[in-house]
Structure 1
């Protein structure tokens, strides 16, 4: 495959699925909290510029540094403000909006500091609100104009095996004494295997990661996975795995947490 085409193709996917994905949950004392899936696209965007021949020379350095975007969109507010336009949308887009009306999207871009984050989140009242959260996230992403191209790559391109399977479901269980994360995979074949023909793609995903970070109202007594890190106050646990390892075995991110009995 042409190297330039390959680079652009991979970076296009990375720009929509990200180099690093961070799944964070912050729990409050009453069991409510915030779920946020953040896509760090700074590295992908920088590589895209290189692949496309560099940055636009007509922009001065000061102009580039001044480009800052920090915004959040709440789907329910958009649906109310633009209800006439929403009613006129194609049925699939309208139903996707209806499914994610309780969620929000946020974006932060600062070219001067090299920050480019895109996030999809939900403020939940109880852990039960997170049931089917992965499906909701995919519906939110389907509102992106480039989603059809991404879907085509999943089924008709060798890049498909490197992309997240939206059919996998994650169950979260939170009690007074413990927390657990459990993934149900969509296929009978749980683990993906890479072939020699995949080597040219693998190099582009070697620096990609999936991070989970959970913050609880109680101190953590123990956890069931090696390599996780605790914060100084022992209330936040962070676990980071290589994207290639995660794609091969989605259950690698599952673990149990026990809390200190206070």
Structure 2
């Protein structure tokens, strides 16, 4: 179970790389939610910085390849004795995410490392607290206090995302909406861009690092899509999947940027 917690710590620290929020809907508004963190570039940069990645290619062993799914309910059963010995707060956190799962795809030679946190949901009601559930999964590593300190007291903190927004999803026979609620006044929201100063050396360095980082949205519906409110959204050839994205820094400046309205084709 220790390796699982280590992966969770890795997710939290590098959660601001490339993130993909994917939802696949079935006919009954059930489906699968998956938040994926693409960390291949971050791992390579970290390895290079620590002096790795310079091995003679002729002597280098073949890298590890992995493609697996870990279901928390199964983990809790396998490690039930260890979980029973955890503090009450941690046991409650594990219970809260019992119905969730993690995916991991890794190919060291190709620089791929994707870790996902997901939920098979029965209705949209199950997604109303999905951000909170993801945070509980991330905090299972026991490093929540240190990560909060990093967010609040280090230069990289403001680049790691905010805990002050909640996303809800609504779907009717005619369309779908992704809506973000934030705990900011209109004036505070307008001034969020001032948090990032491209004349400050620390900010400038991090902004350059996140320049090619994106928050991606992928929505798949059982009905054909007629229109999408997001300007640069792409619609698949069968008109059932919508994809769009925003630069990570732009998203941090305006969390409402990824809100969208989708209109379905009349049947």
TM-score (ref. length: structure 2):
0.87
Mean Cα deviation higher: 67-76 or 169-178: 67-76
Q: 2:59 & 2:169 partners in 1: Cα distance?
A: 46
Q: 1:175 & 1:61 partners in 2: Cα distance?
A: 58
For 1:23, the equivalent position in structure 2 comes to 21
Matched, 1:174 2:184: no
**In structure 1, the residue corresponding to 2:119 is in which secondary structure?**
strand
Matched, 1:44 2:49: no
Q: 2:56 & 2:13 partners in 1: Cα distance?
A: 24
Change (3 A) 1:30 1:46: same
Mean Cα deviation higher: 247-256 or 56-65: 56-65
- Structure 2: 5+ residue stretches without partners: 1-9
Contact 2:16 2:248 in 1 (8 A): no
Superposition pairs for residues 232-243 of structure 1, below 5 Å?
232-243=237-248
Change (3 A) 1:172 1:62: same
Change (3 A) 1:13 1:74: closer
How many residues were matched structurally?
250
Contact 2:11 2:138 in 1 (8 A): no
For 1:140, the equivalent position in structure 2 comes to 137
Q: 1:250 & 1:157 partners in 2: Cα distance?
A: 21
For 2:3, the equivalent position in structure 1 comes to none
Q: What is the Cα deviation at residue 148 of structure 1?
A: 3.8
Q: What is the Cα deviation at residue 57 of structure 1?
A: 3.5
Q: What is the Cα deviation at residue 87 of structure 1?
A: 1.4
Change (3 A) 1:224 1:142: same
Matched, 1:120 2:117: yes
Per-residue CA deviations over 1:95-148 (Å, capped at 9, x if unaligned) read: 211111111111111112221100000000111110110010011011135544
For 2:126, the equivalent position in structure 1 comes to 129
Contact 2:16 2:159 in 1 (8 A): no
Change (3 A) 1:83 1:253: same
Residue from 158, 161, 166 that aligns with 1:161: 158
For 2:55, the equivalent position in structure 1 comes to 57
Residue from 209, 221, 224 that aligns with 2:229: 224
Contact 2:16 2:161 in 1 (8 A): no
TM-score (ref. length: structure 1):
0.89
Contact 1:15 1:44 in 2 (8 A): no
Q: 1:232 & 1:52 partners in 2: Cα distance?
A: 44
Matched, 1:203 2:202: no
Q: What is the Cα deviation at residue 77 of structure 1?
A: 1.6
For 1:91, the equivalent position in structure 2 comes to 88
Residue from 100, 105, 124 that aligns with 1:108: 105
For 1:190, the equivalent position in structure 2 comes to 189
